[in-house]
Amino acid sequence: MQFNFRLKNAQGYCLMFLWLILSASPAYPIQTKTYDVKFIPKLQRAYFEIQKLRLQTARALIEEERNSNADNALIPYLDNYADLHYLLISEDKTAYKKLSEKEEQRLSAIDELADNSPYKRFFQAEIRMHWAFAKMKFGNEVSGAWDIIKAYRLLDENRKKFPAFSPTLKSLGLLHVLIGSVPENYTWVTKILGLKGNIPLGVQEIQTVIREEPFFQQEAQLIDLLLHAYTLQLSNAQRAKIKQLPKDQPDNLLLHFFATTILIKEGNSREASSYLNEAPQGNAYIPFPFLNYLKGEIALQQGKYDSAFSWYALFQKNYKGFNYIKDSNLKLFMCRWLANRDGEAIPFIRRLQNTGSEIIEADKLAQRTAAEFLAGKIQVQQKVLYRSRYATDGGYLDKALEELESVSEKSFSNVSDKSEFNYRKGRILQKSENMEGCIPYFERAVALTKNTSIGFGASSALQLGYIFRDRKQKDKAVSSFKTAMSYKKYEYKNSIDNKARAALSELGQ
């Protein structure tokens, strides 16, 4: 049994970081027999220091409170919160093994709160969700899925028992959206387990917190923005908010990371680069080598292959984790291969096969690409498709279109390359707001890939669904989203299916 929350490249990080913005509220102080929940200024500051990724300062503040008032139930919650940040960023396997032993200890500590405390189930649910995301990150999906199930039940019970306790809505709303976007072939599992997904309800619950709880407003906004960026779709107002938040808090590294990754995903690497370059640095912050990976991504999209190579190499030098190793080796290969330095490129494609893990989709794709290249299935003429793809991903549309002007569908010999050419051309025109021009290319990609497992057809069908939905052509939109979900066994099926399922839910399907 699995919950398919894996996402490509930086998207995988961003969904994981959804829980890094969740916290407890200073309202509803509860006195209990053993524990009390005191949101003293010191611990509130510790929470926000964690959010800024200044973990050393946060842990010092937590330790001060532990020495003076060990019975404050907020302490084990914040301990867990800080550990989650460290594990998701560092991917330190030794620390993961050691810290994971503390899950039950912290749950037991929270269990000392009286049953009439709304924080008891809320904190326990939060701790379980923290570990669910950490376990999935480290490849322990079964245990992580059970933590999600237990967290959902705790939150649902807390909502019924304490309907006025809004932190529950914040967390339960997140789960309602995530479970509601589970691909159709997994919904039978959620039904058996009693997990009820509901995307509109989840969004409504989160937005209720935004409207009614000043303390939680920014946190709820971040959850709402990330869900729309990676599962639903962003509005113009939401895009503006994403850009404003780091400006309001220039010392918040996490907000700069969010803005960078979301803008890259949105095909706006020009602006993403400015947020990345302005991200705060220094010994006060946890080491974050992945930021160098992102700099490599932007340079690769710009066609600055030597610069991109340097950033990816620096990422690998400082990174001690296990994800993105295969992917970054593929990118090192691309930096040389696309610059027509094929001899220098080959060692990286060979190294790729024997290093790193295959947990995230980006690394799985890199492994398959390496095998195909070494088997002679990737030819020189495909360089133009890769150059166009990277430029399109970054929003450098003139460069992307220029790459494709020298070729046509007939320039390629196999169905996968022909469909990719049509998908790439369609995406460039779509992002250029030429909807009439892009539709025939997307439809051609779908027609070429019918009854195959070629993902360019699924991606094209998804984009057609969005276009028809925005045009209020509901029947065509529904048909396109269902077509997108019909493709089997390709690298980004989970991501495409999640988005198509979410769109269908919004359409009442």
Whether 192 has a pLDDT exceeding 80, the answer reads no
Domain-ending residue, one of 232, 249, 277: 232
Residues 314 and 344 sit within 8 Å (Cβ to Cβ)? no
| 268 within some domain | no
What integer pLDDT is reported at residue 94 of this predicted model?
94
Domain-ending residue, one of 208, 232, 256: 232
pLDDT bucket at 31, cuts 50 / 70 / 90 = very low
| 31 within some domain | yes
What integer pLDDT is reported at residue 490 of this predicted model?
82
Element (H, E) at 99: helix 93-99
| 484 within some domain | yes
| 102 within some domain | yes
Whether 5 has a pLDDT exceeding 50, the answer reads no
What integer pLDDT is reported at residue 27 of this predicted model?
45
| 1 within some domain | no
CATH number of the domain that residue 482 is part of: 1.25.40.10
Q: What total number of domains does the chain contain?
A: 2
| 398 within some domain | yes
- Nearest 5 degrees, angle CA 429-CA 434-CA 438? 55
Please list, in sequence order, all residues whose beta carbon lies within 8 angstroms of the beta carbon of residue 371, skipping any fewer than 6 positions away.
Answer: 353
pLDDT bucket at 188, cuts 50 / 70 / 90 = low
Whether 167 has a pLDDT exceeding 80, the answer reads yes
As a whole number of angstroms, the distance between CA 397 and CA 404 comes to 11
Q: What mean pLDDT, rounded, does the chain reach?
A: 89
| 334 within some domain | no
Q: Which structural domain, as residue segments, surrounds residue 384?
A: 379-509
What integer pLDDT is reported at residue 4 of this predicted model?
40
Whether 11 has a pLDDT exceeding 50, the answer reads no
| 253 within some domain | no
The string of DSSP letters for 376-418 reads T-S-GGGHHHHHHHHHHHHT-HHHHHHHHTT--GGG--SHHHH
Whether 194 has a pLDDT exceeding 80, the answer reads no
End-to-end CA distance of the chain: give it in Å, rounded.
Answer: 25
What integer pLDDT is reported at residue 280 of this predicted model?
97
The string of DSSP letters for 282-306 reads STTSPP-THHHHHHHHHHHHHT-HH
Q: What confidence tens digit (pLDDT) does each residue in 240-270 have?
A: 999 999 999 999 999 999 999 999 999 999 9
What integer pLDDT is reported at residue 23 of this predicted model?
39
Percent of the chain residues topping a pLDDT of 70: 91
As a whole number of angstroms, the distance between CA 291 and CA 293 comes to 5
What integer pLDDT is reported at residue 187 of this predicted model?
65
Query: Based on the number of CB atoms within 10 Å of its own CB, is 115 exposed (0-12), middle (13-18) or buried (19 or more)?
Result: exposed
As a whole number of angstroms, the distance between CA 356 and CA 322 comes to 5
As a whole number of angstroms, the distance between CA 44 and CA 74 comes to 10
Please list, in sequence order, all residues whose beta carbon lies within 8 angstroms of the beta carbon of residue 314, skipping any fewer than 6 positions away.
Answer: 289, 292
Whether 26 has a pLDDT exceeding 70, the answer reads no
Neighbours of 383 (CB within 10 A): 17
Domain-ending residue, one of 212, 232, 252: 232
Whether 32 has a pLDDT exceeding 80, the answer reads no
Least trusted range by pLDDT, from 171-185, 282-296, 351-365: 171-185
Q: Which residue has the higher pLDDT, 83 or 4?
A: 83
As a whole number of angstroms, the distance between CA 489 and CA 493 comes to 7
What integer pLDDT is reported at residue 6 of this predicted model?
35
CATH number of the domain that residue 182 is part of: 1.25.40
Whether 453 has a pLDDT exceeding 70, the answer reads yes
